[in-house]
Amino acid sequence: MIYDNQSTYIKSKIRNKVLDGKDRKETENFQFETFQLHAGHTPSIATRARAAPIYATTSFTFESAEHAANVFGAVFEQRMAALEGGTNAISTSSGQAAQFVAISTICSIGDNIISTSCLYGGTYIQFKVTLQRLGINVKFVQGDDPEEFSRLIDDKTRAIYLPVIVDNTFGGYLIKPIEHGANIVVHSAMKWIGGHGTTRQ
C-alpha cells in the first residue's frame, strides 16, 4: 500500500468523500476506529448495508477498464488513505510490490537510495538484488547513526529508506508518518489489516 501527502484541504476533501459526504466539521473529530470501519464505503441505496459486501460470484460486468480496476480495490484504498491521513492510496499484490512502486517512481537508472541494513529479509533482497539489476544502487548503512547516512548522500540520491519513505506496516494505529513529514508510506497488508498474518489480502 502506498500513500502520498498533499495539502490539508485536499486531505479533508478526500476524508469527506470517503465518509458518506459528511462535511469537514463532522469528520475532523473522528477517531482511527471510525475510519477503520467506515472510510471508503458508502452504503448502497438498495440495501443500506454498512459493511462493504462480499459477492458470491465469479462473474462481473464492467462499464470500462477503469471501473474494473477500481471496483475491488477502491474501498480498501480509500480506507487506508483515510487511516494514514493521505490523499490517495494504491493497493498492490504485496508489500514488496508497494516498495518497488514507491522506489521506481522516484528513481531512474544510475540513481541511488540509502537504507539501513537492518531490514525485513524480503526488503533486503529486493534492495540488494532486484534494484541493483535495474540500475538503482542501494547504499546500506550499519546501524542508525544519522552521520553515516549523511556521508553517503550524493547528487544521485533520491531517497533515504526511512524516514523519507516509511514502511508503517505495524505502526498504523500508533503513528501517521505523513503528519511527521513523510511523503510516501508503504504497508504490507497481509501482516495486520486482516487481523492476523496467516492469509494474503
Instruction: Report the pLDDT value the prediction gives residue 2, as an integer from 0 to 100.
Output: 44
Half-sphere exposure of 157 (CA within 13 A, CB side): 15
Instruction: Report the pLDDT value the prediction gives residue 41, as an integer from 0 to 100.
Output: 72
Instruction: Report the pLDDT value the prediction gives residue 1, as an integer from 0 to 100.
Output: 42
Domains of the chain: 2-90 (no CATH), 95-162 (3.40.50.2300)
- pTM over the 0.85 mark: no
Instruction: Report the pLDDT value the prediction gives residue 195, as an integer from 0 to 100.
Output: 58
Instruction: Report the pLDDT value the prediction gives residue 21, as an integer from 0 to 100.
Output: 54
Mean pLDDT of residues grouped by 10 in the chain (201 residues)? 39 45 60 74 73 76 81 80 84 85 93 91 93 96 89 93 72 82 79 57 43
DSSP 98: H
Instruction: Report the pLDDT value the prediction gives residue 12, as an integer from 0 to 100.
Output: 39
Instruction: Report the pLDDT value the prediction gives residue 28, as an integer from 0 to 100.
Output: 67
What's the per-residue H, E or C state across 47-64? Answer: CCCCCCCCCCCCCCCCCC
Pairing outcome for strands 112-116 and 165-167: unpaired
Q: Are 19 and 38 in contact (CB under 8 A)?
A: yes
